[in-house]
Chain A
Amino acid sequence: MAKDVEIQILDDVTVRFAGDSGDGMQLTGAQFTNTTALAGNDLSTLPDYPAEIRAPAGTLYGVSGFQLHFSSSDIQTPGDSPDVLIAMNPAALKVNLKDLKPDATIIVNTSAFDSKNLRLAEYAVNPLDDDTLNGYNVIQVPLTDLTMKSLEELRLSNKEKERCKNFFALGLMFWLYNREVDATIEWIESKFKKDAVLVQANKNALYAGYYYGENTEIFSTRYHVEPAKLPAGTYRNIQGNEATALGLLTASLRAGIPLFLGSYPITPASEILHELSRHKDFGVKIFQAEDEIGAICAAIGASFAGSLGLTTTSGPGLSLKTEAIGLALMTELPLVIVDVQRGGPSTGLPTKTEQADLLQAMYARNGESPVVVLSANSPADCFFMAIEACRIAIKFMVPVILLTDGYIANGSEPLRLPEIDELPEIPVNFRTDPEGFYPYTRDENLARPWAIPGTKGLEHRIGGLEKKNIQGGISYDTDNHELMIHLRQEKVNKVAFDIPDLAVDGDSEGDLLVLGWGSTYGAIREAITHLRKKGYKVSQAHFQYLNPMPKNTGEVLSKFKNILVPELNLGQCATLLRNQFLIPVIQFNKVQGLPFKVIELENKIIEILGVPNGK
């Protein structure tokens, strides 16, 4: 018989699952996220995993975590500090404890707190026995033992049984947060459909966890988070890399030209390659090249031949592609380069996030070599900005670099799925008329004609050598060179008239504008929302278009006494702003491989504004 439990309504919860990198924490987190999404909460997730694929079990550096923030209202970040930690072993407890809210709940897998694991986690004394966890609501559950017990009847090795413990933990969390188990059951049945025993084992573990919550006296409260009131529509939960891939595919279909991706595996961008490789039914052509340079050069070749040429990479790969980007802008072919930024320089922190490739995207080429640079605000925004990158590349016959980063690439949030006719048109007009054809004539956007091989009468030659204006022959003429330099720059400048103005949230003038770009959007948004409730008057603007910047940028900036530019680098966007607008900006920088916490931004804003400045 079920006990009496109180159901407490919460607005907002942040949960972190943590264990060994082999414990299946990413999977557990993804399943909890999926069910949370189906329950209609707004959500935001952040996986955090080590660079080692399978670090030695029990070690501090082998801890893998997955954080989920879900809410009954609109949220933008995976949460600063978890309310709940599920710690599968001592190392997971030690690594994550410092991040928790002071009164957080910690569900501890006591089965893993043996002397070996305590030693590996560098605990001299078992933290469950001393005052390490004072103040926290610690719930001790022998997760592994209970899982093994629930699987006694099944013909599986002990190792296989033990590996089901993440589903026990998941079942317990489902009970605690009043969730349906159906979607996960369905997933288990499909995932392990070739092995009936594994289906049974994982289902048993999931139910065992669920009923453990239901039937033991340990838990007296269950929690409920109401569905969020989001704009009407159909939603799916989506990770940034997946959204980027789907955006690129969508763009090729809107443009009516085949997608060609040249790519070389690199963390944290490979998932875009994986996702697009699954969609050969759309006729996409995927070329896993021999190196980063081969990848972009093949994409340029494909673009020359009339495909939507794409390449996806991360910072070190972008460095290698530098010369080829110059070739694409010189030959004035459409090309989209996605850079999923990670901690740099050099190999840096491959699995961590950073925004330090902005100046590389802007300037890292020889000669005067402007390209269009865009960035995405959030996982779902990757979908729209990928389409936008393709649209601009085709319309202006220009390379476009789209900057995302590890944080939004691996994080997830609900995407309101667009109706197909809400998506932008991407007209493609291949030149077919030989009459009056020259490779470097230009349309009203200064774009040259896209004349692809196979078109009779349009045989012509392009390349990296400077070309004579209009006719396109090789030209060493000094005046012609300067003219072409200006034309290429002017063309990129013209993009500013084809993109939305910089929008200001809040008053369009005042004491402080917080101006960010890329993945810092969510944290800035939440910080400002909190501060406005406390009586502060702060405005926000956020760049998705970094080169060229929206044409009203200067005007927006001129209306504020202070401009704060938070960035996960040493001030790269701030440098661009000072350079273009000759205005002082206040930098706020963090380069720890981690996103901003909302509280860090709040504190910085308060430091600038002092006491509440609102009415």
Chain B
Amino acid sequence: MENNNVITPPDSIGTRVEQPVKYTAKDFSSGLEVRWCPGCGDYSILAQVQRTAPEINVPKENMVWVSGIGCSSRFPYYMDTFGFHGIHGRAAAIASGVKIANPKLSVWVATGDGDLLSIGGNHFIHACRRNMDLKIMLFNNRIYGLTKGQYSPTSEKGKKTKSSPHGSIDFPFKPVSVALASGATFVARSMDRDPKHLQAMMARAAEHKGTAMIEIYQNCNIFNDGAFLHLTEKELKDENVVYLEHGKPLLYGHNKNKGIRLNGLTPELVDLSKGEFSVSDLWVHDEHDINPARAFILSQFIEMEHFPTPLGIFSQIQKSTYDADVEEQIAEVQKTKGIGNLKKLLYSGNTWKIE
């Protein structure tokens, strides 16, 4: 019989099924009636997530979706995984607790621009700083939708909304810049209207160990319709989007005749059809560059006149994760000190007996 006086700590909880399970997209649908506005970009994101989830090889009982408050934060209810619909802005903090408590879980955050970058900004930057192994999907529609149309921290300056009838005087955040500056180890951008690309980004994020942030441009057809039209419409897209591909030059344009070269730290648009520059002069994207400077320059394009909007992976680097380090530190302490014994601990220090 176990000695009652020797209480030792419990083992870690939660188990991963070893054999791969074959799922379909349908397996990830909770069956709950989806209640976003008709035409909302969130429908596409949900569809891409449910299509990609079977590919990432995680038993669905080990997948946890955490959210805050906002239209996007209804997301967990529609996934047939474990889900936690939190309070405004706190998804990253709640998800951090889930992940630290059980690092075997695959923990995903569904959040919006208000939720993650305004009220939840602090939790977001600190999750990135710690390289907490969370996959954060930021549904960026540049507007507060659930509260019916106020400007958000990613709304462009001058935007007229219900709370800014004369135009917003706030400068917006560039979420990719914030993530990079905060130490996120996987930073990407995609769009609700580019299903294949979004699936690819999600699959790459799932593989990554560490904080992964995917900024997803998402159309709010009620309060900010057409915000990303220039990136999604066939005739405009080629001229306004540059896809980031590792090892490939930054090339775009309808005829693939435009490129970006880096002159020192200054990016320059060049026209390849004029003969002055060729493809070999262009900036070749290195998503694993450990120096964040170039990724940061890329993240600035969205505010630079005439520059195309980059989609793809800005940066992916390897760093130890917080949750793994917690486990490692505990294992180290237990190796040197031995596994804790309650009776020994309580009776440690100076004790005396009274008969």
Contacts and interface: CB of A to CB of B under 8 A. Distances in A.
A binds B: yes
Interface string A421-457: 1000000001000000000000000000000111111
Interface stretch (A46-54, A300-308, A354-362, A556-564): A300-308
A266 interface: no
Contacts of A176: none
B342 A461 contact: no
B80 A459 contact: yes
B354 A297 contact: no
A52 to B, nearest CB: 28
Interface in B308-353: 326, 329-330, 333-334, 337-340, 342-343, 345-347, 349-353
B354 A233 contact: yes
Nearest to B129: A290
A224 interface: no
B83 interface: yes
B114 to A, nearest CB: 16
Contacts of B4: 420-421
B354 A230 contact: yes
B94 interface: yes
Interface string A257-271: 110101000000000
B98 A324 contact: no
B61 A463 contact: no
B181 interface: no
A456 B17 CA distance: 9
Given A299-B97, A301-B101, A459-B82, A258 B77 contact: no
Interface string B56-83: 0001111010110100000011011111
B354 A232 contact: yes
Contacts of A138: none
A377 interface: no
A454 B347 CA distance: 37
Contact of B347 (A302, A304, A417, A465): A417
A234 B100 contact: no
Given A290-B123, A454-B61, A283 B98 contact: no
B100 A260 contact: yes
Q: Which of B8, B84, B99, B343 has the most CB of A within 10 A?
A: B84
B329 A297 contact: no
Size class of the contact patch on chain B: 35 or more
A430 B32 CA distance: 25
B340 A281 contact: yes
B12 A459 contact: no
B105 interface: yes
Interface stretch (A7-15, A248-256, A593-601): A248-256
B255 interface: no
B160 interface: no
Contact of B87 (A232, A289, A464, A474): A464
A235 interface: yes
Interface in B86-117: 86-87, 90, 93-102, 104-105
Contacts of B326: 285
B163 interface: no
B15 A454 contact: yes
A291 interface: yes
B62 A453 contact: yes
A55 B135 CA distance: 47
B7 interface: yes
B134 to A, nearest CB: 11
A280 interface: yes
Interface in A213-246: 227, 229-237, 246
B97 A253 contact: no
Contacts of A298: 93-94, 96-97, 100
Given A37-B352, A297-B90, A281 B338 contact: yes
Contacts of B17: 456
Contacts of A282: 9, 339-340, 342, 345
Contacts of A250: 342, 346
B95 A301 contact: yes
Contacts of A230: 354
Given A280-B333, A297-B123, A457 B61 contact: yes
A233 B352 CA distance: 8
Contacts, number: 242
Nearest to B333: A280
Given A290-B122, A305-B14, A463 B342 contact: no
Given A40-B354, A327-B87, A257 B345 contact: no
B147 interface: no
A98 to B, nearest CB: 34
Interface residues of A, number: 79
Interface string A532-549: 000000000000000000
Contacts of A457: 61
B102 A324 contact: no
Nearest to B13: A306
Nearest to A421: B4
A177 interface: no
A460 B82 contact: yes
A379 to B, nearest CB: 14
A246 B346 CA distance: 8
A193 interface: no
A233 B13 contact: no
A461 B9 contact: no
Contacts of A102: none
A462 B263 CA distance: 52
Contact of B90 (A258, A293, A302): A293
Contacts of A290: 93, 122-123, 125-126
B20 interface: no
Nearest to B6: A420
B98 to A, nearest CB: 4
A279 interface: yes
B105 A305 contact: yes
Contact of A279 (B62, B97, B340, B353): B340
Contacts of B7: 253-254, 420
A294 interface: yes
A287 B354 contact: no
B30 interface: yes
Contacts of B280: none
Contacts of B96: 287, 294, 298, 301
A294 B122 contact: yes
A369 interface: no
Interface string A489-521: 000000000000000000000000000000000
B97 A474 contact: no
B85 A301 contact: no
B109 to A, nearest CB: 11
What are the nearest 7 A-B pairs in CB distance?
A: A463-B85, A301-B97, A454-B14, A298-B97, A282-B340, A461-B83, A297-B93
29 contacts: A227-B354, A234-B347, A236-B349, A279-B345, A280-B333, A282-B340, A283-B12, A283-B330, A283-B334, A283-B340, A285-B100, A285-B326, A285-B330, A290-B122, A293-B93, A294-B126, A298-B97, A302-B100, A305-B13, A305-B14, A327-B87, A417-B346, A420-B4, A453-B62, A453-B105, A459-B82, A459-B83, A461-B84, A463-B77
Interface of A: 34, 37-38, 40, 183, 227, 229-237, 246, 249-250, 252-254, 256-258, 260, 262, 279-285, 287, 289-291, 293-295, 297-307, 309, 323-324, 326-327, 331, 417-421, 430, 452-465, 473-474
Interface of B: 4-5, 7-10, 12-17, 30, 32, 59-62, 64, 66-67, 69, 76-77, 79-87, 90, 93-102, 104-105, 122-123, 125-126, 326, 329-330, 333-334, 337-340, 342-343, 345-347, 349-355
Given A279-B345, A417-B351, 19 more contacts: A229-B354, A235-B351, A253-B8, A253-B10, A260-B101, A281-B337, A283-B339, A290-B122, A301-B96, A302-B98, A302-B100, A304-B94, A305-B102, A306-B13, A309-B101, A420-B4, A453-B14, A459-B81, A461-B79
